[in-house]
């Protein structure tokens, strides 16, 4: 298999940041994906699979190994079951589902990237999350293709076992409900308008940088002034609220900025590098720790650090 050399990863991430991949390959189907991984293993080359590159920060030094871009895009719908290859764009899965009068994925409208990336990170928004619809996930594990039931995927808030193992997600089976296309389209239109209103979509970013904070016994609520009641009700404090409370909107380091529109977004104002973003992330974590004794955790994943 021929891998290309020294390809800038900034072209393959929504942050538009990142140095070169030493080796690079675009897989157009799952056979190519499996073959590329098997070749990398034989040659003892470190590898990583990226979908849309919409949840990663790639280091300025790039990735000293093989980056495989997953474009395996088979999708099949039977009754209310959708089976999608991991490289299908989430956007296409949403559209295909509603074309078939299936409801349940409207919340995902506007999330960039592939369904493989969404299944790994248990992507979610507007009270929905990937794991709500998943029945089975097919993965490549130790060279073998195996099918996992949802219960074996360790799903939690933006969490799955796939973040802690080397499984390659090949495809996913989703169960949706019979719905009404017009209703779904209306819901999607509202969500897209809300995103446009609240998120700095005009700048490159990787979406929300930090996970929201679950309220449990470890959180000292006496440290919070004016915490909105609904956060207590939902037992979750948005990271954006914490960052906002520290007056960090607009804080800029190099070409990276904490968005003035949404405090949990770091945007690339044009010439940001990964180091600028890292410095902003560290600053936010330090300030949140100092004021609230809370450790924020990144939703964005690091590549090549």
Residues at the interface with ligand FAD (CB under 6 A)? 14, 48-56, 70, 86, 111-114, 116-118, 120-121, 123-125, 162, 168-169, 199, 201, 205-207, 301
Q: Report the nearest approach of ligand FAD to the CB of residue 90 (Å).
A: 6
Cβ 254 to ligand FAD shortest distance, Å: 20
Q: Which residues contact 79 (CB under 8 A, 6 or more apart)?
A: none
Contact 63, 304 (CB under 8 A): yes
Do 21 and 6 form a contact (C-beta atoms < 8 A)? yes
Indicate the helix (H) or strand (E) that contains 29: none
CB of 276 to ligand FAD, least distance (A): 17
Task: Please give the positions annotated as active site.
Answer: 158, 208, 299
| Rounded Cα–Cα distance for residues 20 and 61 (Å) | 7
Q: Rounded distance, CA 41 to CA 21, Å?
A: 17
Q: Characterise 48 by phi-psi region: left (phi > 0), alpha (psi -120 to 50), beta (else).
A: beta
Min separation Cβ 231 and ligand FAD, Å: 18
Q: How many CB atoms lie within 10 A of CB 111?
A: 22
Tokens found for residue 186: 């209306």
CB atoms within 10 A of CB 285: 16
Q: Looking at beta carbons only, is 33 or 284 nearer to ligand FAD?
A: 33
């Amino acid at each position: 298999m021929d891998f290309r050399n020294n390809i800038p990863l900034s072209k393959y991430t929504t942050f538009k940041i990142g140095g070169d991949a030493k080796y690079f390959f675009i897989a157009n189907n799952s056979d190519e994906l499996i073959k590329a991984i098997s070749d990398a293993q034989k040659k003892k080359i470190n590898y990583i699979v990226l979908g849309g590159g919409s949840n990663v920060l790639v280091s300025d030094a790039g990735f000293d190994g093989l980056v495989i871009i997953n474009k395996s895009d088979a999708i099949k719908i039977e009754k209310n079951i959708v089976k999608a290859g991991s490289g299908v764009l989430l956007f296409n899965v949403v559209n295909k589902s509603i074309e078939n009068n299936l409801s349940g994925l409207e919340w995902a409208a506007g999330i960039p990237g592939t369904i493989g990336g969404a299944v790994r990170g248990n992507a979610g928004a507007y009270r929905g999350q990937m794991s709500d619809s998943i029945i089975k996930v097919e993965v490549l594990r130790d060279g073998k293709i195996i099918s996992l039931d949802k219960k074996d995927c360790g799903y939690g808030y933006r969490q799955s076992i796939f973040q802690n193992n080397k499984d390659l997600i090949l495809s996913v089976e989703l169960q949706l409900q019979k719905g009404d296309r017009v209703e779904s389209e209306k819901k999607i239109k509202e969500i897209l308008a809300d995103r446009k209103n609240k998120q700095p979509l005009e700048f490159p970013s990787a979406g929300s940088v930090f996970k929201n904070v679950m309220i449990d016994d470890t959180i000292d609520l006496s440290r919070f002034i004016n915490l909105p009641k609904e956060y207590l009700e939902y037992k979750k404090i948005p990271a954006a609220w914490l960052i906002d409370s520290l007056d960090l909107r607009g804080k800029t380091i190099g070409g990276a900025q904490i968005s003035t529109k949404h405090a949990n977004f770091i945007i690339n104002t044009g010439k940001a590098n990964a180091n600028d973003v890292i410095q902003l992330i560290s600053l936010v974590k330090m300030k949140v720790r100092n004021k609230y004794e809370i450790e924020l955790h990144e939703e964005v994943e690091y590549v090549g650090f």
